[in-house]
Amino acid sequence: MRTSVSAREFGHLPDGRVVHEYTIANGCGLQLRALDFGAIVTGLWAPDAAGDSANVVLGFDKLSDYVERNQAFGIIAGRYANRIAGARFELDGQEVRVDANDFGNSLHGGSKGFGEQLWSGSLQERDADGRVSLLLRYTSADGEMGFPGELAVSVRYSLGPENDWRIDYEARTSRPTVCNLTSHAYFNLAGGGSALDHELTLHASRYTEVDAGGIPTENRSVAGSRYDFRAAKRVADATLDHNWLIDAPRDGKRHPAAQLMERGSGRVMDVSTSEPCLQLYAGKWLNGSLKGHRGEVYEQGAGLCLETQHAPDSPNRSGPDWPTTVLRPGEVYRTSTVYRFSVLA
Protein backbone atom coordinates (compact mmCIF):
# COMPACT_ATOMS: atom_id res chain seq x y z
CA MET A 1 0.00 0.00 0.00
CA ARG A 2 1.15 3.53 -0.73
CA THR A 3 0.83 6.77 1.21
CA SER A 4 -1.54 9.34 -0.28
CA VAL A 5 -2.92 12.85 0.26
CA SER A 6 -5.90 14.52 -1.39
CA ALA A 7 -8.45 17.30 -0.98
CA ARG A 8 -12.01 17.94 -2.10
CA GLU A 9 -14.69 20.57 -1.69
CA PHE A 10 -16.96 19.59 1.21
CA GLY A 11 -19.51 22.41 1.18
CA HIS A 12 -20.12 26.10 1.79
CA LEU A 13 -20.59 28.03 5.01
CA PRO A 14 -23.69 30.24 5.31
CA ASP A 15 -21.58 33.24 4.23
CA GLY A 16 -20.48 31.43 1.06
CA ARG A 17 -16.92 30.49 2.05
CA VAL A 18 -15.77 27.12 0.75
CA VAL A 19 -14.90 24.32 3.19
CA HIS A 20 -12.51 21.58 2.10
CA GLU A 21 -12.07 18.04 3.37
CA TYR A 22 -8.52 16.67 3.33
CA THR A 23 -7.55 12.99 3.32
CA ILE A 24 -4.21 11.52 4.35
CA ALA A 25 -3.34 7.80 4.35
CA ASN A 26 -0.19 6.16 5.67
CA GLY A 27 -0.28 3.14 3.36
CA CYS A 28 -0.53 0.76 6.33
CA GLY A 29 -4.28 0.87 6.88
CA LEU A 30 -4.64 4.17 8.72
CA GLN A 31 -6.54 6.99 7.01
CA LEU A 32 -7.64 10.36 8.40
CA ARG A 33 -10.05 12.92 7.00
CA ALA A 34 -10.36 16.46 8.34
CA LEU A 35 -11.99 19.78 7.44
CA ASP A 36 -10.46 23.23 7.38
CA PHE A 37 -13.64 24.31 9.23
CA GLY A 38 -12.88 23.93 12.93
CA ALA A 39 -9.92 21.66 12.09
CA ILE A 40 -12.58 18.97 12.49
CA VAL A 41 -11.56 15.33 12.13
CA THR A 42 -14.46 13.77 10.18
CA GLY A 43 -13.10 10.24 9.96
CA LEU A 44 -10.27 8.00 11.11
CA TRP A 45 -10.08 4.50 9.66
CA ALA A 46 -8.06 1.88 11.54
CA PRO A 47 -7.74 -1.87 10.89
CA ASP A 48 -9.16 -4.47 13.27
CA ALA A 49 -7.67 -7.83 14.23
CA ALA A 50 -8.85 -9.32 10.93
CA GLY A 51 -7.28 -6.50 8.91
CA ASP A 52 -10.61 -4.83 8.09
CA SER A 53 -10.79 -1.04 8.50
CA ALA A 54 -13.61 0.95 10.08
CA ASN A 55 -14.12 4.58 11.02
CA VAL A 56 -13.35 4.86 14.73
CA VAL A 57 -14.44 8.47 15.32
CA LEU A 58 -17.94 9.93 15.32
CA GLY A 59 -18.94 12.56 12.80
CA PHE A 60 -21.37 13.69 10.12
CA ASP A 61 -21.68 13.40 6.36
CA LYS A 62 -22.88 16.98 5.76
CA LEU A 63 -21.28 20.32 6.57
CA SER A 64 -24.61 21.72 7.79
CA ASP A 65 -24.61 19.20 10.64
CA TYR A 66 -21.22 20.45 11.82
CA VAL A 67 -22.29 24.08 11.52
CA GLU A 68 -25.75 23.81 13.07
CA ARG A 69 -25.80 20.82 15.42
CA ASN A 70 -22.25 19.95 16.33
CA GLN A 71 -21.50 19.06 19.97
CA ALA A 72 -17.78 19.70 19.45
CA PHE A 73 -17.42 16.56 17.29
CA GLY A 74 -13.83 16.34 16.09
CA ILE A 75 -12.92 19.99 16.67
CA ILE A 76 -9.77 21.62 17.91
CA ALA A 77 -10.97 23.25 21.12
CA GLY A 78 -9.46 26.65 21.89
CA ARG A 79 -8.37 29.29 22.60
CA TYR A 80 -8.89 27.67 25.99
CA ALA A 81 -10.12 24.06 25.98
CA ASN A 82 -12.36 23.00 28.85
CA ARG A 83 -13.81 25.52 31.32
CA ILE A 84 -12.85 28.88 32.80
CA ALA A 85 -14.95 29.63 35.89
CA GLY A 86 -17.15 32.67 35.64
CA ALA A 87 -15.75 33.35 32.17
CA ARG A 88 -13.09 35.57 33.75
CA PHE A 89 -9.53 35.48 35.06
CA GLU A 90 -6.81 37.86 36.14
CA LEU A 91 -3.72 38.35 33.98
CA ASP A 92 -0.87 40.65 35.05
CA GLY A 93 -3.14 42.37 37.53
CA GLN A 94 -5.95 43.04 35.05
CA GLU A 95 -9.28 41.27 34.90
CA VAL A 96 -10.03 39.58 31.58
CA ARG A 97 -13.62 38.70 30.73
CA VAL A 98 -14.25 36.15 28.01
CA ASP A 99 -17.33 34.75 26.32
CA ALA A 100 -19.67 32.91 28.71
CA ASN A 101 -21.30 30.02 26.83
CA ASP A 102 -21.73 27.34 29.54
CA PHE A 103 -23.94 28.30 32.50
CA GLY A 104 -21.93 31.45 33.15
CA ASN A 105 -18.58 29.81 32.46
CA SER A 106 -16.46 29.78 29.31
CA LEU A 107 -16.18 26.39 27.59
CA HIS A 108 -13.79 25.50 24.74
CA GLY A 109 -13.03 29.13 23.93
CA GLY A 110 -16.58 30.46 23.90
CA SER A 111 -19.54 30.30 21.55
CA LYS A 112 -17.32 31.02 18.53
CA GLY A 113 -14.18 29.20 19.57
CA PHE A 114 -11.64 27.61 17.24
CA GLY A 115 -14.04 24.79 16.38
CA GLU A 116 -16.34 27.37 14.74
CA GLN A 117 -13.66 29.07 12.63
CA LEU A 118 -12.37 28.50 9.10
CA TRP A 119 -8.72 27.51 9.08
CA SER A 120 -6.34 27.23 6.12
CA GLY A 121 -5.02 23.81 5.18
CA SER A 122 -2.05 22.42 3.26
CA LEU A 123 -1.03 18.82 2.61
CA GLN A 124 2.45 17.31 2.83
CA GLU A 125 3.50 14.15 1.05
CA ARG A 126 5.60 11.55 2.79
CA ASP A 127 8.52 13.10 4.69
CA ALA A 128 11.89 11.62 5.70
CA ASP A 129 10.23 9.78 8.60
CA GLY A 130 7.61 8.26 6.33
CA ARG A 131 4.84 10.50 7.69
CA VAL A 132 2.05 12.14 5.69
CA SER A 133 0.45 15.23 7.15
CA LEU A 134 -2.11 17.99 7.02
CA LEU A 135 -1.10 21.40 8.37
CA LEU A 136 -3.94 23.66 9.52
CA ARG A 137 -3.45 27.33 10.46
CA TYR A 138 -5.68 29.90 12.10
CA THR A 139 -5.02 33.42 13.38
CA SER A 140 -7.28 34.45 16.23
CA ALA A 141 -7.76 38.22 16.39
CA ASP A 142 -6.85 40.24 19.47
CA GLY A 143 -10.02 40.31 21.56
CA GLU A 144 -11.73 37.38 19.85
CA MET A 145 -14.17 35.88 22.38
CA GLY A 146 -12.59 38.35 24.85
CA PHE A 147 -9.10 36.79 24.85
CA PRO A 148 -6.21 39.28 24.61
CA GLY A 149 -3.55 39.08 21.92
CA GLU A 150 -3.49 38.03 18.31
CA LEU A 151 -2.80 34.29 18.45
CA ALA A 152 -1.26 32.55 15.43
CA VAL A 153 -2.02 28.83 15.72
CA SER A 154 -0.88 25.81 13.72
CA VAL A 155 -2.03 22.23 14.16
CA ARG A 156 -0.43 19.38 12.24
CA TYR A 157 -2.21 16.05 11.85
CA SER A 158 0.21 13.36 10.70
CA LEU A 159 0.12 9.60 10.21
CA GLY A 160 3.20 7.44 10.58
CA PRO A 161 4.18 3.98 9.33
CA GLU A 162 3.56 2.49 12.81
CA ASN A 163 -0.16 3.36 12.57
CA ASP A 164 0.02 6.38 14.83
CA TRP A 165 -1.92 9.62 14.52
CA ARG A 166 0.12 12.51 15.92
CA ILE A 167 -1.14 16.02 16.64
CA ASP A 168 1.47 18.77 16.94
CA TYR A 169 0.24 22.13 18.25
CA GLU A 170 2.04 25.49 18.07
CA ALA A 171 0.94 29.03 18.91
CA ARG A 172 2.47 32.50 19.21
CA THR A 173 0.88 35.63 20.62
CA SER A 174 1.23 39.39 20.21
CA ARG A 175 0.17 40.09 23.84
CA PRO A 176 0.08 38.07 27.06
CA THR A 177 -2.81 35.62 26.89
CA VAL A 178 -3.81 32.10 27.92
CA CYS A 179 -3.70 29.12 25.59
CA ASN A 180 -4.85 25.52 26.02
CA LEU A 181 -5.62 23.43 22.93
CA THR A 182 -6.93 19.90 22.49
CA SER A 183 -8.64 17.58 20.04
CA HIS A 184 -12.29 16.80 20.83
CA ALA A 185 -12.54 13.65 18.70
CA TYR A 186 -15.15 11.14 19.87
CA PHE A 187 -13.70 7.62 19.68
CA ASN A 188 -15.54 4.35 19.18
CA LEU A 189 -13.10 1.57 18.40
CA ALA A 190 -15.91 -0.81 17.45
CA GLY A 191 -16.84 1.45 14.55
CA GLY A 192 -20.43 1.78 15.82
CA GLY A 193 -22.80 1.09 18.69
CA SER A 194 -21.90 1.98 22.26
CA ALA A 195 -18.40 2.79 23.48
CA LEU A 196 -19.25 2.11 27.13
CA ASP A 197 -18.04 -1.48 26.91
CA HIS A 198 -14.57 -0.31 25.85
CA GLU A 199 -11.86 -1.04 28.41
CA LEU A 200 -9.85 1.96 29.52
CA THR A 201 -6.57 2.35 31.38
CA LEU A 202 -5.50 5.77 32.66
CA HIS A 203 -1.96 6.33 33.91
CA ALA A 204 -3.24 8.64 36.63
CA SER A 205 -3.50 8.25 40.40
CA ARG A 206 -5.44 11.50 40.93
CA TYR A 207 -8.47 13.09 39.36
CA THR A 208 -10.20 16.47 39.66
CA GLU A 209 -13.50 16.63 41.50
CA VAL A 210 -15.88 19.26 40.09
CA ASP A 211 -19.06 21.05 41.04
CA ALA A 212 -22.34 20.88 39.12
CA GLY A 213 -20.98 23.31 36.53
CA GLY A 214 -17.85 21.28 35.83
CA ILE A 215 -15.58 23.68 37.75
CA PRO A 216 -12.80 22.08 39.86
CA THR A 217 -13.23 21.88 43.62
CA GLU A 218 -10.21 19.73 44.54
CA ASN A 219 -7.82 17.06 43.27
CA ARG A 220 -8.31 13.66 44.89
CA SER A 221 -6.74 10.22 44.89
CA VAL A 222 -8.53 7.73 42.65
CA ALA A 223 -7.92 4.92 45.17
CA GLY A 224 -11.14 3.19 46.16
CA SER A 225 -13.28 5.29 43.81
CA ARG A 226 -15.01 4.73 40.48
CA TYR A 227 -12.40 7.05 38.99
CA ASP A 228 -9.62 4.49 39.42
CA PHE A 229 -8.65 3.36 35.92
CA ARG A 230 -5.07 2.43 36.77
CA ALA A 231 -6.05 -1.12 35.82
CA ALA A 232 -8.18 -1.58 32.71
CA LYS A 233 -11.95 -1.54 33.26
CA ARG A 234 -15.11 -0.83 31.29
CA VAL A 235 -16.19 2.73 30.61
CA ALA A 236 -19.63 1.84 31.93
CA ASP A 237 -20.62 5.09 33.63
CA ALA A 238 -21.89 7.56 31.04
CA THR A 239 -21.82 10.43 33.54
CA LEU A 240 -18.02 10.65 33.42
CA ASP A 241 -16.73 14.09 32.42
CA HIS A 242 -13.65 14.61 34.56
CA ASN A 243 -9.99 15.55 34.47
CA TRP A 244 -7.16 13.20 35.48
CA LEU A 245 -3.63 14.28 36.41
CA ILE A 246 -1.23 12.09 34.43
CA ASP A 247 1.49 10.33 36.44
CA ALA A 248 4.47 11.61 34.46
CA PRO A 249 7.24 14.19 34.73
CA ARG A 250 6.41 17.59 33.29
CA ASP A 251 9.44 17.81 31.05
CA GLY A 252 7.86 18.68 27.70
CA LYS A 253 8.25 15.12 26.42
CA ARG A 254 5.48 12.69 25.57
CA HIS A 255 4.60 10.12 28.20
CA PRO A 256 1.96 7.34 28.33
CA ALA A 257 -1.43 8.68 29.38
CA ALA A 258 -4.08 6.11 28.45
CA GLN A 259 -4.96 2.92 26.63
CA LEU A 260 -8.37 2.19 25.11
CA MET A 261 -9.29 -1.34 24.03
CA GLU A 262 -12.33 -2.89 22.30
CA ARG A 263 -12.32 -6.68 22.41
CA GLY A 264 -14.91 -7.30 19.68
CA SER A 265 -12.74 -5.73 16.98
CA GLY A 266 -9.46 -6.30 18.74
CA ARG A 267 -8.51 -2.64 18.29
CA VAL A 268 -6.22 -1.01 20.83
CA MET A 269 -5.39 2.70 21.02
CA ASP A 270 -2.47 3.93 23.15
CA VAL A 271 -2.33 7.64 24.00
CA SER A 272 0.87 9.49 24.87
CA THR A 273 1.16 13.23 25.39
CA SER A 274 3.36 16.07 26.60
CA GLU A 275 0.34 17.56 28.39
CA PRO A 276 -0.09 17.21 32.19
CA CYS A 277 -3.76 16.16 32.17
CA LEU A 278 -6.41 14.21 30.32
CA GLN A 279 -10.16 14.86 30.33
CA LEU A 280 -12.36 11.80 29.82
CA TYR A 281 -15.78 12.70 28.44
CA ALA A 282 -17.99 9.65 27.92
CA GLY A 283 -20.64 11.30 25.74
CA LYS A 284 -23.22 11.82 28.47
CA TRP A 285 -24.97 14.66 26.59
CA LEU A 286 -25.60 12.55 23.47
CA ASN A 287 -29.31 11.80 23.55
CA GLY A 288 -30.26 10.28 20.19
CA SER A 289 -31.11 13.60 18.57
CA LEU A 290 -28.06 13.48 16.27
CA LYS A 291 -27.52 11.18 13.31
CA GLY A 292 -24.00 10.63 12.11
CA HIS A 293 -22.17 8.66 9.46
CA ARG A 294 -24.40 6.16 7.64
CA GLY A 295 -27.40 7.50 9.54
CA GLU A 296 -26.26 6.05 12.87
CA VAL A 297 -28.13 7.54 15.83
CA TYR A 298 -25.76 8.83 18.49
CA GLU A 299 -27.12 7.74 21.85
CA GLN A 300 -25.53 8.44 25.22
CA GLY A 301 -22.09 6.82 25.31
CA ALA A 302 -21.82 6.37 21.54
CA GLY A 303 -18.29 7.74 21.70
CA LEU A 304 -15.81 9.03 24.24
CA CYS A 305 -13.23 11.80 24.18
CA LEU A 306 -9.71 11.57 25.59
CA GLU A 307 -8.74 15.24 25.67
CA THR A 308 -5.08 15.84 26.50
CA GLN A 309 -4.70 19.33 27.95
CA HIS A 310 -3.99 21.50 30.97
CA ALA A 311 -6.45 21.32 33.83
CA PRO A 312 -9.79 23.13 33.63
CA ASP A 313 -9.84 26.64 35.13
CA SER A 314 -6.04 26.82 35.31
CA PRO A 315 -6.05 30.61 34.64
CA ASN A 316 -7.73 31.02 38.06
CA ARG A 317 -5.52 28.54 39.94
CA SER A 318 -1.94 28.33 41.20
CA GLY A 319 0.34 25.70 42.64
CA PRO A 320 2.09 22.58 41.35
CA ASP A 321 -1.14 20.91 40.21
CA TRP A 322 -1.98 23.87 38.01
CA PRO A 323 0.96 24.66 35.71
CA THR A 324 0.50 27.98 33.98
CA THR A 325 -1.34 28.36 30.69
CA VAL A 326 -0.09 31.93 30.19
CA LEU A 327 1.63 32.55 26.85
CA ARG A 328 3.70 35.72 26.32
CA PRO A 329 5.15 37.41 23.24
CA GLY A 330 8.38 35.72 22.18
CA GLU A 331 7.34 32.38 23.68
CA VAL A 332 6.08 29.41 21.68
CA TYR A 333 3.21 27.22 22.85
CA ARG A 334 4.24 23.76 21.69
CA THR A 335 2.73 20.41 22.63
CA SER A 336 1.97 17.07 21.00
CA THR A 337 -0.22 14.00 21.47
CA VAL A 338 0.00 10.61 19.76
CA TYR A 339 -2.78 8.05 19.31
CA ARG A 340 -1.17 4.74 18.30
CA PHE A 341 -3.35 1.93 16.91
CA SER A 342 -2.64 -1.79 17.20
CA VAL A 343 -4.63 -5.00 17.64
CA LEU A 344 -4.88 -7.68 20.29
CA ALA A 345 -2.72 -10.74 19.66
| Active-site residue list | 184, 307
Instruction: Answer whether 53's CB lies under 8 Å from 27's CB.
Output: no
Largest CA distance in the chain: 58
Give me the helices (H) in 6-100, please.
63-69
Q: How far is CA 218 from CA 171, 247, 309, 312, 330, in A?
A: 29, 17, 17, 11, 33
Return the DSSP state at 96: E
Q: Collapse the DSSP code of 85 into the 3-class scheme (helix H, G, I; strand E, B; otherwise coil) and give the result.
A: helix
Query: What phi and psi values does residue 11 have, to the nearest 5 degrees?
Result: 160, -170
The dihedral through the CA atoms of 197, 200, 205, 210 has a sign that is negative
Instruction: Answer whether 323's CB lies under 8 Å from 155's CB.
Output: no
